Amino acid sequence: MLGTGIAKGLVETARNFFGSYVSRDRLTTVEYPEERAPQIEASRNFPFLVYDGDDWAAGLRCVACQICEKECPPKCIFIEKSKDKKLDAVGKPQFYPTVFNIDVSVCMSCQICVEVCPFEAIKMDTDFELSTDNRFSGLLWDRHRLAKPNTYYHEIHPTEAAEVDARLAEEKAKADAKAKAAEAKPVPAAAGATPSTGHGASSVE
Amino acid sequence: MILSANTTAQATDQIFVSVEHWLVSHVPSAIQPLVADIISVVALLAVFASLFAVTTVLERKGLGRIQNRYGPNRVGPFGFLQPLADGIKSLTKEDIVPLAADRTVHFLAPIVLVLAAFTMYAVLPVGHNMVLANLDAGLLFFFAASSVMEMCIFMAGWSSRNKYSLLGAMRAIAQMISYEVPLILASITAVMAAGSLSTATIVEKQSGFTGILPHWFILTPWGFAGFVLFMIAATAESNRSPFDLPEGESEIISGYFTEYSGFKFALFFLGEYIGMFAMSGLGITLFLGGWGAPLSFLTWVPSYIWFFAKLLFLIAMFIWIRGTLPRLRMDQLMNFAWKFMLPLALINLITAGLWRFIPNDALRWIICCLMVVIPYVLLGRGMAKGWKLEKRTYRFAE
């Protein structure tokens, strides 16, 4: 008969209406600024630069090889290589980026920079609250703003960070052994995982 | 003791009337009628505009709950100050008038719409002795004012010089004129029973009680059918879901008020809700006994409280329907008006006449119920014949 479907629909909406007051399962809304959904480990949003130790400038893993700059599809990375070399955390002289800028408004979060980095220096962040009131300097992030410690990396992507640390430690041990064999002089080991030359460590996955 | 309780109840019932009389008594007798009217108009404007504000929050919260979400809950306690924020927002927004628009008509449309919507309240009895103008042809006046709203909608759509606006306006005209026919035919039954076009008289005719049940027209077979037909047509008249084709957001970008922004947009919104309240108010007046109490032992509750309780109930029904039904297609809408509602309304006129002239009480109940149910079932079956669901084939888009 005409109207039975409408009656069924009305019953269903009434059930939703009253059900949302009694059943928490129906009301799935997470009221964002006060409540937050638990973070998903695999989530990624925007790249950051990993540094080891406490000093961001000294501990930066990046050696300004500019592979990410070349690979970046929307060309949002800008790197200037240093003229001089400085000792990295291991004590090995390396170039370092005097300028490392990423334009947040251009980045498309594709993670290709992370895939191509041979030094495990650039990783994906999960921070999504990037709004700013300045559309020029607020969106162009320099290396200081991009630098975040390895402990933070462990915090947001624990599994991935553990894998990366294990790989770096293995490479470092290999390099140490090689150096020992060549010069019979040990390199002073730094605390935690430190990058050495890192040949072949091309991707995280 | 009973007498004094009775007089107290009567005093509370008539408190607004007495206050107005007291206020008016302070001015010279020459301008007393004018002052009385101004006071009533201001009261009506204030009450129904604030009812609009409350309804927008209730509607958004109700729809939210129907869709298993919270709805607005940020501004003020439980989000009840949301209309204030919305009002400030629409007041501070830029008023954009398209370059090609007919500026005068474009400007007039929302204003006349709100004026026409408020004019309808002149004949609406919101309480005992609380009707602004007790016209002999009150119902006629009401429908005349409501048809001005249609004209405003067409003014808005035409003057905007926008294809969506014009499409929305054409749809609105087609829809509102079609549904005005069953709307008026359904309300004629109440006029037939009451023997008057005056809204106050129609309410008074329904104010008696048999046992504890009131003499509302909805409690008769023809009254029930008339009320349902009236409310369906009123939904279409006030452009509400599922008859919101004139302003279908997903197809013609809110139709006739596409080119309105800022406070003019808010005025359209206001006019639409005010029109909806007025239509509900007329439905209450014609079929739900107006300001009368629903049970005989509840007559001590003031009459205006009953009116607004019924109004809020109908608003809740409107919200519930809006949360349930999807929008109709244009041909479905027209078929429904002309092939289903119009025959039912015409048959209902005969039913109302028979109800009046069949002397035997049991016999008239049986005959009138059959006369309501049988056409409904048969016409419904006829409507459903064309509704076979089949796989749609496309000629050009694949």
Proportion of chain B in helix, strand, coil states, percent, rounded to 5? 75, 0, 25
Closest CA of chain B from A101, distance in Å: 38
- When comparing pLDDT for A128 and A87, which is higher? A128
Which has the minimum average pLDDT: A155-159, B89-93, B249-253, B283-287?
A: B249-253
Tell me the one-letter amino acid at B375: P
- Classify residue A59 by burial, with Cβ atoms within 10 Å: 0-12, 13-18, 19+: buried
pLDDT confidence of residue B372: 85
Closest CA of chain B from A43, distance in Å: 25
Mean pLDDT of chain B: 86
Task: Note the pLDDT tens digit of each residue in B75-106.
Answer: 878 888 888 888 898 889 888 888 888 889 99
Closest CA of chain A from B229, distance in Å: 13
- Classify residue B193 by burial, with Cβ atoms within 10 Å: 0-12, 13-18, 19+: buried
**What are A90's two structure tokens?**
């291991």
Which has the minimum average pLDDT: A11-25, A77-91, B58-72, B233-247?
A: A77-91
CA atoms within 13 A on the CB side of B211: 1
- When comparing pLDDT for A121 and A194, which is higher? A121
Nearest CA in chain B to A17: B66
% of chain A beyond a pLDDT of 70: 87
Nearest CA in chain B to A29: B69
Say yes or no for a CB contact (<8 Å) between B324 and A3.
no
CA B204 – CA B192 distance, rounded (Å): 14
Which has the minimum average pLDDT: B191-200, B245-254, B331-340, B372-381?
A: B245-254
Question: Which residues of chain A are within 8 Å of residue B376 when distances are taken between CB atoms?
Answer: 2
Predicted confidence (pLDDT) at residue B398 exceeds the cutoff of 70: no
Going by pLDDT thresholds of 50, 70 and 90, the confidence category of residue B388 is low
CA B38 – CA B15 distance, rounded (Å): 18
Instruction: Give the mean pLDDT of B271-285.
Output: 91
Most B CBs within 10 Å, among A13, A21, A29, A30, to test the B interface: A13
CB contact A30 to B (< 8 Å): no
CB contact B380 to A (< 8 Å): yes
How many Cβ pairs within 8 Å bridge chains A and B? 46
Asked if residues B142 and B237 have their Cβ atoms less than 8 Å apart, the reply is no
Dihedral of alpha carbons A109, A115, A117, A122, sign = positive
User: How big is the CA angle at B74 (ends B52 and B239), to the nearest 5 degrees?
Assistant: 30
Which has the minimum average pLDDT: A179-183, B153-157, B302-306?
A: A179-183
Q: Which residues pair with B214 in a beta bridge?
A: B209
Say yes or no for a CB contact (<8 Å) between A1 and B377.
yes
pLDDT confidence of residue A205: 41
CB contact B80 to A (< 8 Å): no
pLDDT confidence of residue A185: 55
pLDDT confidence of residue A73: 92
Nearest CA in chain A to B321: A10
Instruction: Give the mean pLDDT of B243-270.
Output: 83
Going by pLDDT thresholds of 50, 70 and 90, the confidence category of residue B319 is very high
**What are B22's two structure tokens?**
């007291």
Length of chain A: 205
pLDDT confidence of residue A89: 57
Report ipTM for this prediction. Answer: 0.77
Task: Note the pLDDT tens digit of each residue in B142-164.
Answer: 999 988 988 888 898 889 888 88
Question: Which helix or strand (DSSP H or E) is residue B385 part of?
Answer: helix B361-385
- When comparing pLDDT for B205 and A193, which is higher? B205
Task: Note the pLDDT tens digit of each residue in B186-227.
Answer: 999 999 888 889 888 888 888 888 888 888 888 888 889 999
Predicted confidence (pLDDT) at residue A203 exceeds the cutoff of 50: no
Instruction: Give the mean pLDDT of B302-327.
Output: 90
Question: Which residues of chain B are within 8 Å of residue A26 when distances are taken between CB atoms?
Answer: 68
Question: Which helix or strand (DSSP H or E) is residue A51 part of?
Answer: strand A46-51
CA B182 – CA B227 distance, rounded (Å): 11
Nearest-10 crossing angle of helices B221-237, B262-287: 170
Closest CA of chain B from A28, distance in Å: 7
DSSP assignment letter at A125: E
pLDDT confidence of residue A57: 80
Which has the minimum average pLDDT: B6-10, B220-224, B294-298, B354-358?
A: B6-10
Instruction: Give the mean pLDDT of A155-183.
Output: 83
Predicted confidence (pLDDT) at residue A196 exceeds the cutoff of 50: no
Task: Note the pLDDT tens digit of each residue in A27-78.
Answer: 888 888 888 888 888 888 889 998 888 888 878 888 888 899 899 999 999 9
Interface of B with A in 215-254 (CB under 8 A): none
CB contact A33 to B (< 8 Å): no
Say yes or no for a CB contact (<8 Å) between B380 and A1.
yes
pLDDT confidence of residue A198: 44
Task: Note the pLDDT tens digit of each residue in B35-78.
Answer: 888 888 898 899 998 999 999 999 999 999 898 888 888 887 88
Closest CA of chain A from B319, distance in Å: 11
Predicted confidence (pLDDT) at residue B314 exceeds the cutoff of 90: yes
Task: Note the pLDDT tens digit of each residue in A87-116.
Answer: 765 667 888 888 899 998 899 988 899 999
pLDDT confidence of residue A188: 54
Residue A24 φ/ψ, nearest 5 degrees: -70, -25
Asked if residues B264 and B110 have their Cβ atoms less than 8 Å apart, the reply is yes
Asked if residues B250 and B78 have their Cβ atoms less than 8 Å apart, the reply is no
- Tell me if residue A61 falls in helix, strand or coil: coil
Predicted confidence (pLDDT) at residue B1 exceeds the cutoff of 80: no
Nearest CA in chain A to B383: A2
